[in-house]
Structure 1
Amino acid sequence: MAQYVFTMNRVGKIVPPKRQILKDISLSFFPGAKIGLLGLNGSGKSTLIRIMAGVDKDIEGEATPMPNLNIGYLPQEPQLDPQQTVRQAVEEGLGDVFQAQKKLDEIYAAYAEPDADFDALAAEQAKYEAILSTSDGGSPEQQLEVAADALRLPAWDAKIEHLSGGEKRRVALCKLLLQKPDMLLLDEPTNHLDAESVEWLEQFLTRYPGTVVAVTHDRYFLDNAAEWILELDRGHGIPWKGNYSSWLDQKEDRLKQEEASESARQKAIKKELEWVRQNPKGRQAKSKARIARFEELNSQEYQKRNETQEIFIPVGDRLGNEVIEFKNVSKAYGDRLLIDNLSMKIPAGAIVGIIGPNGAGKSTLFRMLTGKEQPDSGEIVKGPTVKLAYVDQSRDALAADKTVFEEISGGADVLTVGKYETPSRAYIGRFNFKGGDQQKLVGNLSGGERGRLHLAKTLIAGGNMLLLDEPSNDLDVETLRALEDALLEFAGSVMVISHDRWFLDRIATHILAFEGDSHVEFFDGNYQEYEADKRTRLGEEAAKPKRLRYKPITR
């Protein structure tokens, strides 16, 4: 094979209105390299992937794949045939293999013919057996089932036109992985996957013989599967030989040499590095310490002192010892039993990470907590001091024609945030909308910026019990880090739905896991500790991701 599978020579890209998003990028990609693509929201990561895929040809410079290189590309919104079933779409990924199997079956039958030409048949047989032998991982049927289970695909006979956006992405990813191209270009492959499916994908790509370039904010993937980090910083592509943790080390050194205005980012990186270097027990979030520091964390002096942080979450009234208790709660949705006899007690100061496949019942749990739905049996008891603040996944309520400042402040210069009055611009700045960013139109914001805006708007009222539904979706690594720091400093309790394992390991004191068959497990510890416990309880095979199953409802 050639020394490089892909080369970029002085590649640049200008986007409206005359903004140079990529500048003078010259890179060469090694065969089999595993590359994680990092950068702030809007830095050009998806643009670079589209250029490499040959989708965007309107560029400066040259982007050249090796001759006959087979490139597979997963965009953020893949196009599938709406009339196909899930199985028909996924089978296309193994088209050559299925065709070879069919031809072999015909050859085996032809041997029985009285006038069979054994030499010709043997030559044909060898050709098609060679195709099957290069397709490792068992028979085509086995490969289909393993990948479909691991990515938790919908039923084989489900029509593509009836699937959600997340389900379509999983189908497209499954089809692409089964094709086994020479080079995989993946734009946010972990979106709409739960934590266990992300872990399976990470292991699959680690073993994958081809080159992989992935835009992802999943830092365990970047740590465990990436051998290179390609950072897009102010238009330039900066390669780093090593994984995410080693990249963090050199990034801290690089920021030290840059201007003082980077000090907030440098401080945030330093905090994450300290966590990376701690032993596992030292990583447990200090929930009691946060509650004990309530007065300091909630004081105006602390808030002023803390203005270098990118995100600051205001807290409401002091949280008492009685927070939330589930007593024998069961909940069905249609003919599916989502939650079967759940009993648990959330301690004060806990950060509970909620994990499980899409459709398992995680958002339904939140709707029961907010009173939008009721349990079918059992009860949910909320403590007398609890004030909920619920940040859902929907960002559609944001007005596209307003500026960031107008959307949050309503035009007022002073906001009442929790119990305090604060300048509107200062509050909005706490969510990393600085200066001119506050005059951006909401309709022009990236997904990550909309996520921050939604968070800022929802949290104005103040609350001491946060319910966060996938807050890490669309956030770049810098903002994720800031959100983690903000949650660790928050002097209340938090329940957070997330599939980001690094995020959960860094902040979670407890895990609430939807494990399938309507069972929900409440575990004292972070994600890694929960996974170790699950393997002990259920065995290695049971711990692998599988398509979602529910207990039948007995009436």
Structure 2
Amino acid sequence: MKPFLQAENLSKRWGELMLFENISFTVFEGAKVALIAKNGTGKSSLLDLLAGKESPDEGIITLSNDVKMGYFEQIPDLNPNNTVIEEVFESDNEKIKTVKAFELAMAHNKQDEITAISAKMDELNAWAIEVEIKQILTELKINFLEQKVSELSGGQQKRLALAKVLINQPDLLILDEPTNHLDLEMIEWLEAYLEKTKSTLLMVTHDRYFLDRVCNEIIEMEDNQIYRYQGNYSYFLEKRDERIAMQQASISKAKNLMRTEIEWMRRMPKARSHKAKYRVDAFQDLKNKASQNIREDKVEMNVKSARLGKKIVELEHVSKSFPGVKLIEDFSYKFQRFEKVGIVGKNGTGKSTFLNLLTQTLTPDSGAIEIGQTIKFGYYRQEGIAFDPREKVIEAVQKIAEFIHFEDGTKMSATQMLTHFLFPPETQYNYIEKLSGGEQRRLYLCTVLMQNPNFLILDEPTNDLDIMTLNVLEDYLQSFAGCVVVVSHDRFFMDKIVDHLFVFEGEGAITDFPGNYTVYRNKVEEEEQQKAKAEAKKKAEAKAKSEAVAKPSQPQTKKKLSFKEKREFEQLENEIPELEEQIGELEDLLNSGTLKHDELYEKSLQLDDMKSQLDEKELRWLELSELG
């Protein structure tokens, strides 16, 4: 395998903070690599170094000759004065330049230019890349080509930057949180695109389904050590547990051995001089190993929630529109105690508007929303809150409460609470501006939960949080003694948390779906397959009818089944009902709510495979039945 990118003994500080020190790894051609590390350990800084945006304090980065790199950053570097079409096609690639000229000529209906450029497109064989570019733009909903970049929202700019990187088809693709600001359909498309791409891939993402399906190698950065796992996210979890168990066992063994070595080392120097020197040296290694403290920091979030009364939140015939856009129409619902609802839908269908109606930030055009007297909202907004960057971490928390009360009746100081949220005492007195984006998100989460809400509203809570924090947040929400409403593009997170979904269909329609996201997507895909099958059958019948009309005088000779085909037909008549029964049982199991998230994923894949088998068998049965 050819090494595309090599990092040797890299170190980087940010002010007084050491992000990472003396780390080394290689990305080989064709690999699809994910980088996993806790927030604040310098993942984005490392990608900046690898992409040549920053320089390491120490170490060497080597990019193989003629390797073209594309870098998608968390904060896009775009020219605000360009139109979208000018920015997205900014490239040194002659084919892409020609496609850009063609699109501009088409946009302004310049017929002479269209004819001339079309000839050049033929010459360069650029039509295939033009089709792929249009697909990327369509899937990422980039249809505002004449608009200035400066006029776009933050989410639109992120999608534009992603499209620009993909269109250039680099040999090495570096992506920093590519799924943020994408809706679920876009994420699923990007997932499929990256699975098929020939580009070598290095990315940071917290989307665990994305990791599992796209990546074939995981690099974990922990305590200035690099651990490599040749497999996807599921494999990483399994092997990481084994690694930690082995380290803990090794430390325990070292501590036992150390007792005898300490006794020996304490003997008189005269006795020691007769021993081999290697044993003295080995003792120091043993001491270092035994003194290691292998533990996993966890964010403990068993914060007390306020008591819930009988009335929670009730919506009656609620409607909300903005000029030219109908978002919610005649929606009624009564929330029950302890329920957890996920909200899904395309961007612009009213998800955030719905949350603002719940919290009475917005008022409905018609209908009523009644809030129970005991309800205390905790609202984690997508845009976060504007911390004062010159304020210290501890000061931001102390503004809310000096002490936080817990379910078991105990209380904790603001300093102790921050320590639980992985902000050690030395970090608590840092200025907020020194925190990474993920650390600021974790701090924001802390300030929301410590207010003891009993109705949590979470708008894209997974953005910029590391996987370790997400795991603990999920555990907290599963045992949370209150209601939860969550908007998230993280399918793994939704599958673990929600009992049912509000599906925002567009044009004001909201459907209450009884199940989590994977169950919902399976149902949608099944309906799409059935629709496609019905349309294909309709076309085939229409074609057969037209052919029969065109050739009425030709005698129809019917081919008879061979002995082998008869046996196959009989076998299919037995297999199809059995397979339908197995599919029904599996669907019941998926809808039961008893499966763990990893079992749910595995069974969903199994269901897809069984449905594909059923489709094939039914088509074959139809073919044979027409002959029999």
How far residue 437 of structure 1 moved from its aligned partner, in angstroms, is 3.1
Q: Distance in 2 between matches of 1:408 and 1:197?
A: 36
1:495 corresponds in structure 2 to 485
1:64 equivalenced with 2:62 (yes/no):
yes
Aligned pairs for 1:350-361 (under 5 A) are 350-361=339-350
Aligned pairs for 1:90-239 (under 5 A) are 90-92=88-90, 96-99=94-97, 128-129=124-125, 131-132=126-127, 135=129, 140=130, 142-153=131-142, 155-239=144-228
Q: Distance in 2 between matches of 1:380 and 1:93?
A: 52
* Offset from partner CA, 1:463-483 (integer Å, 9 cap, x none): 211111222111011111111
Letter in 2 for 1:37: L
1:391 equivalenced with 2:380 (yes/no):
yes
Q: Distance in 2 between matches of 1:18 and 1:367?
A: 41
Letter in 1 for 2:10: G
Q: Distance in 2 between matches of 1:178 and 1:202?
A: 16
* Greater alpha carbon shift after TM alignment, 34-43 vs 451-460: 451-460
1:30 corresponds in structure 2 to 28
Aligned with 2:329 (options 340, 345, 348): 340
Return closer, same or farther for 1:6/1:355 CA change in 2, 3 Å cut-off: same
1:365 equivalenced with 2:354 (yes/no):
yes
1:510 equivalenced with 2:506 (yes/no):
no
* Offset from partner CA, 1:52-100 (integer Å, 9 cap, x none): 2122234433221221111111111122221222223223369633555
2:301 corresponds in structure 1 to 312
* Greater alpha carbon shift after TM alignment, 522-531 vs 399-408: 399-408
1:73 corresponds in structure 2 to 71
How far residue 492 of structure 1 moved from its aligned partner, in angstroms, is 1.0
Q: Distance in 2 between matches of 1:18 and 1:37?
A: 24
- Kept in 1: contact 2:304–2:405 (CA 8 A): no
Return closer, same or farther for 1:254/1:518 CA change in 2, 3 Å cut-off: same
Could you say what secondary structure the match of 2:179 adopts?
coil
- Kept in 2: contact 1:34–1:228 (CA 8 A): yes
Q: Distance in 2 between matches of 1:471 and 1:409?
A: 23
Letter in 1 for 2:333: M
- Kept in 2: contact 1:13–1:22 (CA 8 A): yes
Q: Distance in 1 between matches of 2:143 and 2:441?
A: 27
Q: Distance in 1 between matches of 2:153 and 2:510?
A: 24
Aligned with 2:12 (options 14, 24, 39): 14
1:524 equivalenced with 2:522 (yes/no):
no
Q: Distance in 2 between matches of 1:207 and 1:338?
A: 36
How far residue 363 of structure 1 moved from its aligned partner, in angstroms, is 1.9
Could you say what secondary structure the match of 1:223 adopts?
helix
1:464 equivalenced with 2:454 (yes/no):
yes
Q: Distance in 1 between matches of 2:450 and 2:297?
A: 19
Could you say what secondary structure the match of 2:3 adopts?
coil
- Kept in 2: contact 1:484–1:507 (CA 8 A): yes
Return closer, same or farther for 1:412/1:349 CA change in 2, 3 Å cut-off: closer
Return closer, same or farther for 1:106/1:164 CA change in 2, 3 Å cut-off: closer
Could you say what secondary structure the match of 1:64 adopts?
strand
- Kept in 2: contact 1:7–1:63 (CA 8 A): yes
Q: Distance in 1 between matches of 2:320 and 2:121?
A: 56
- Kept in 1: contact 2:317–2:368 (CA 8 A): yes
Return closer, same or farther for 1:475/1:498 CA change in 2, 3 Å cut-off: same
User: Percent identity among equivalent residues?
Assistant: 35
- Kept in 2: contact 1:80–1:160 (CA 8 A): yes
- Kept in 2: contact 1:11–1:63 (CA 8 A): no
Return closer, same or farther for 1:462/1:16 CA change in 2, 3 Å cut-off: closer
Q: Distance in 1 between matches of 2:29 and 2:468?
A: 30
Q: Distance in 1 between matches of 2:441 and 2:151?
A: 27
How far residue 515 of structure 1 moved from its aligned partner, in angstroms, is 3.0
How far residue 501 of structure 1 moved from its aligned partner, in angstroms, is 0.9
Higher relative contact order, structure no. (Cα contacts within 8 Å, ≥ 6 residues apart): 1
Return closer, same or farther for 1:527/1:106 CA change in 2, 3 Å cut-off: same
Return closer, same or farther for 1:408/1:198 CA change in 2, 3 Å cut-off: same
How far residue 403 of structure 1 moved from its aligned partner, in angstroms, is 2.6
Q: Distance in 2 between matches of 1:172 and 1:108?
A: 27
Letter in 2 for 1:52: L
Larger radius of gyration: 2
Greater helix percent: which structure?
2
How far residue 125 of structure 1 moved from its aligned partner, in angstroms, is 8.7
Question: Structure 2 unaligned runs (5+)?
Answer: 103-110, 252-295, 533-628
* Greater alpha carbon shift after TM alignment, 345-354 vs 201-210: 345-354
Aligned pairs for 1:258-337 (under 5 A) are 258=247, 310-320=299-309, 322-337=311-326
How far residue 184 of structure 1 moved from its aligned partner, in angstroms, is 0.5
Provide the aligned length of Structure 1 versus Structure 2. Answer: 476
Return closer, same or farther for 1:56/1:504 CA change in 2, 3 Å cut-off: same
Question: Structure 1 unaligned runs (5+)?
Answer: 111-120, 263-306, 543-555
- Kept in 2: contact 1:328–1:343 (CA 8 A): yes
How far residue 423 of structure 1 moved from its aligned partner, in angstroms, is 2.6
TM-score by length of 2: 0.69
1:441 corresponds in structure 2 to 431
Could you say what secondary structure the match of 1:92 adopts?
coil
2:420 corresponds in structure 1 to 430
Return closer, same or farther for 1:540/1:461 CA change in 2, 3 Å cut-off: farther
- Kept in 1: contact 2:341–2:501 (CA 8 A): yes
Q: Distance in 2 between matches of 1:326 and 1:440?
A: 44
TM-score by length of 1: 0.77
Return closer, same or farther for 1:12/1:541 CA change in 2, 3 Å cut-off: farther
Return closer, same or farther for 1:109/1:429 CA change in 2, 3 Å cut-off: closer
* Offset from partner CA, 1:179-202 (integer Å, 9 cap, x none): 111110111111111222111111
Aligned with 1:455 (options 429, 445, 454): 445
- Kept in 2: contact 1:36–1:222 (CA 8 A): yes
How far residue 383 of structure 1 moved from its aligned partner, in angstroms, is 4.0
How far residue 427 of structure 1 moved from its aligned partner, in angstroms, is 3.0
How far residue 491 of structure 1 moved from its aligned partner, in angstroms, is 1.0
How far residue 239 of structure 1 moved from its aligned partner, in angstroms, is 1.6
- Kept in 1: contact 2:40–2:439 (CA 8 A): no
